[in-house]
Structure 1
Amino acid sequence: MDLTEEQRAFVSAVDTFCQRECGTRQQRDVLTNFGAESHNRALYRKMADAGWLGINVEPEFGGAGGGMVDLSLFLEATARGMAPIGGFATTVIAAAAYAKFGTAEQKETILGGVIRGSVEAIAMSEPEAGSDVANLSCKAARVDGGYVINGQKTWCSNAHIADHILLVARTGSVAETGNGHHGLTMFMVPTNTEGLEIRGIDTMGGREVNDLFYTDCFLPASAVVGEVGNGWRQLMAGLNTERIIMGGLMLGTAQRAFDDTLSYVTQRKQFGQPVGTFQALRHRLADLATEIECCRLLVYDVASKVDANPEKMLPREASMVKLKVTETAKRMALEGMQMMGGYGYAKEFDMEGHVRRTIVSTIYGGTNEIQRDIIGKTYGL
């Protein structure tokens, strides 16, 4: 796609920053505690100071006022540069909900915080409700002056480093509403709220996700984000943002996995010549390069459509972005590992990390099976 001079300069600045601050494996090991942590607060603060974290936040809150294309450029560049800012994705997803539905005070707190480098999280999944959102059971009971929360959330990304959690809880029973998607409400929950326990879940990706336990957790009425009982519709309104964000991130990761593979196969020699010159590898790389470019065109085409009509729901296109880019990134990383042989499996190189990150991308944010179902339904199937 054609970028403006300003956008090209922005991407160049982000590329230069990543190369300087986290361009070597040694730098990234220090920043991430040898891969155990996905987010480095000091590096994140530097990006905040540069004004980049507010790329799509409205100017009235100190942001740049950019659109989805600008945000996608930043996501792709930072993922390609392997910048350890894992908290950014959930932050912009949560911030989008506050921007659309939050009160003036909530917007000032959250959007202003994003500019300064705060991290935000969103809690929706439960032990018995992942893809089946209608089965959410975490309860928000109305009491004098607010609500009391009881229940559990799970797989909450970045809750352990977040300032607030955007909680989706049930304020109306299925018996009352007749539909599990009705009676859900969003709440802004500071992570230091009494009655909230955040417990990390060990994963192959290090410390990323958490169980959340709400025990008689009181929230004032002012904690409600948007309308009581309208949480499902508010969630649906954010799907464009969430799925394109994941597309931008995995596009950058796929490109980095390709670049790392290309670098290896042009240097590694077997039978007296670089392994990349053998047809078996050359053709695989040609196919993968083509697939990545198709993903790039898809991401920025859909991002441009969102910028042209921010209020329009694009369920088919947004799901296509999430499905296509994450599947391509996973394929690229697995193919890269295969082409690098044993070195692709060794922690000495970054490829094994690419594999871990891309595999889980097909699960979070709505599994790719769900994305296929959504796409099929848009065709009346």
Structure 2
Amino acid sequence: MGSRLTEEQSGFVAAIRDFAKRECGSREQRDALTSGGREAHNPELYGRLAGLGWLGVCLPEAYGGAGGGLADACLFLEETSYGMVPAGGFITTVIAAKAYEKFGTGEQRRTVLSGVVRGEVLSIAMSEPGAGSDVGALRCRARREADGTWVVDGQKTWISNAHCAEHILLVARTGEDKHGGLTMFHLPARTPGVEIQRIDTMGGREVNDVFLSGVRLPADAVVGHVDDGWRQLMAGLNHERLFLASNMLGLARRAFDDTVGYVREREQFGRPVGSFQALRHRIADLATEIECARLLVREVALDCDARPDKLFPREASMAKLKATETAKRAALEGMQMMGGYGYTTEFDMERHLRAAVVSTVYGGTSEIQRDVIGKSYGL
């Protein structure tokens, strides 16, 4: 199928790039929008993206979306990441939105998907203190009352964007079977009994602890079917990994371009440092790796759009593994080639590195991706 863009997609990419350059093209603009790099999401700017109709890029037209495919959402994630647009809420939003689109009731889809198009943020709560890569070990429990309502108790952790979300897609235990006893729930973030505490990390303030104490949910809060959450999660993990890969592809490109711009200008021994073979070859290797990642990510996205009922676990894991590891390498190499300047907060490279390193952990670690890929070959 190739990876060439349609005329419409090319125009979409050009519009995003123009927006990014205009709204956050300078370091001063980005600092003002992100509290000096501590916040990944700016609600006001996000609202302007909604006004342009971009947040519903891959959602059905019936809910106000543009009716595009996964490839279009991937382009949006890649270009906003490259342009350093503080729209961090979008990635969890689009991941959760696709789950609502596939498994939600008519009312849930109308409420949630229409809200996404207007600029509402979604979060998804799976991980717990004792359940990270092993999602089936989660203990947060939802018990059904005699009247059909649900009462939820437990703790979630590392929950991205819960602090700015209107709705949380919650995964809780409803049965004793490790994988067959999980259920998805629609949880408005401001429901009584929900407490959200932000976690400070070296990448800023993006993740949260979510405490649930006696949280009461109506019978129709179930997303999909009771005890079917594991299968539903597996159906969505490939989209999640593809979206994360696209986000990191954009970061890898940005780190690379920042590095090239620096080594062209920085002089030592009477010549630009990029003209030395040692650095020139490193640039060549990075450029090749990024292009490989780009082709892989876009090809998987196109395949997913062409065959929406087919899961692509091997390919999605390959895309996530390749793009995140490449982004981490691009940022590390960039810091090395920039010398001490790459380590200073005056330049963006240290931000690129902080964002890239954690990408090989969330959404399934690189080790988990390799395990998925290996098992797909019967190993």
Please state which band the TM-score falls in when normalised by the shorter chain.
Answer: over 0.9
Name the counterpart of 1:291: 289
Name the counterpart of 1:256: 254
Residue of 161, 164, 171 corresponding to 1:158: 161
Alignment deviations for residues 205-244 of structure 1 (CA, whole Å, 9 cap, x no partner)? 1110001111011001111100000000000010221011
Distance 1:145 1:133 in 2: 26
Name the counterpart of 1:12: 14
Contact 1:240 1:306 in 2 (8 A): no
CA shift at 1:128, angstroms? Answer: 0.5
Alignment deviations for residues 299-344 of structure 1 (CA, whole Å, 9 cap, x no partner)? 0110010000111011100000010110010000000000001110
Name the counterpart of 1:92: 94
Q: State yes or no: 1:39 paired with 2:41.
A: yes
Residue of 324, 327, 330 corresponding to 2:325: 327
Alignment deviations for residues 131-152 of structure 1 (CA, whole Å, 9 cap, x no partner)? 1111111000111231100011
SS in 1 for 2:185: strand
Name the counterpart of 2:194: 196
Distance 2:337 2:71 in 1: 33
TM-score (norm: length of structure 1): 0.98
CA shift at 1:72, angstroms? Answer: 1.1
SS in 1 for 2:158: coil
CA shift at 1:173, angstroms? Answer: 1.5
Name the counterpart of 2:207: 209
Distance 1:281 1:111 in 2: 47
Within 5 Å, give how 1:101-250 maps onto structure 2: 101-143=103-145, 144-174=147-177, 180-250=178-248
SS in 2 for 1:341: helix
Name the counterpart of 2:347: 349
Name structure 2 gaps, 5 residues minimum.
none
Question: Where do 4+ consecutive residues of structure 1 move more than 4 Å?
Answer: none
Residues paired across the two proteins, number: 376
CA shift at 1:42, angstroms? Answer: 0.8
Distance 1:199 1:307 in 2: 37
Identical pairs, percent: 66
SS in 2 for 1:238: helix
Amino acid of the structure 2 residue aligned with 1:354: H
SS in 1 for 2:210: strand
CA shift at 1:285, angstroms? Answer: 0.3
Name structure 1 gaps, 5 residues minimum.
175-179
Distance 1:360 1:15 in 2: 25
SS in 1 for 2:154: strand
Distance 2:278 2:149 in 1: 64
Distance 1:311 1:201 in 2: 37
Q: State yes or no: 1:57 paired with 2:59.
A: yes
SS in 1 for 2:184: strand
Distance 2:302 2:333 in 1: 30
Amino acid of the structure 2 residue aligned with 1:58: P
CA shift at 1:97, angstroms? Answer: 0.4
Amino acid of the structure 1 residue aligned with 2:48: K
Amino acid of the structure 2 residue aligned with 1:245: F
Name the counterpart of 2:334: 336
